[in-house]
Amino acid sequence: MAGSGLSILLTNLLLKEWIARPRPSSIMHLVNARGFSFPSGHAMNSLFLFSVFYLVYKPYIPQKLQFIFKICCVLFPLLIGISRVIVGVHYPSDVIGGFFTSHCWYCHLLYVFA
């Protein structure tokens, strides 16, 4: 699993260099961000982290709390992605692209380890 986490970081860096989309410039940034914009690393890494977290810890969560656990694992990455657009360092398409790439990587992980 640790190798999968490192591989998604590498995938993000390679995609950013390959696509080389500049960050939004017309919007006042609330935080400093360097490098290219697409895909959003925060969106990509948070979705992957919470997806793996859900996969690993779901069997240990009591049945009564599983719905809340699932909602949290979906809601946290979503809020992280939205926050990147709000602070002005990503376009919405960057976040959607990060989520999509992360989901594809997670599905690949499930296929490989199944």
Tens-place pLDDT, residues 13-72? 888 889 888 888 866 667 777 888 888 989 999 999 999 889 889 889 999 999 999 999
19 C-beta neighbours (distance < 10 Å), count: 13
Q: Which residue has the tokens 């810890």?
A: 57
Tens digits of per-residue pLDDT, 59-91? 899 999 999 999 999 999 999 999 999 888 889
* 14 burial level (CB within 10 Å; 0-12, 13-18, 19+): exposed
CA 5 to CA 103: how far, in whole Å?
Answer: 13
Can you give the pTM of this predicted structure?
A: 0.83
Q: What is the pLDDT of residues 90-108, one digit of tens each?
A: 899 999 999 999 998 888 8
List the catalytic residues.
42, 90
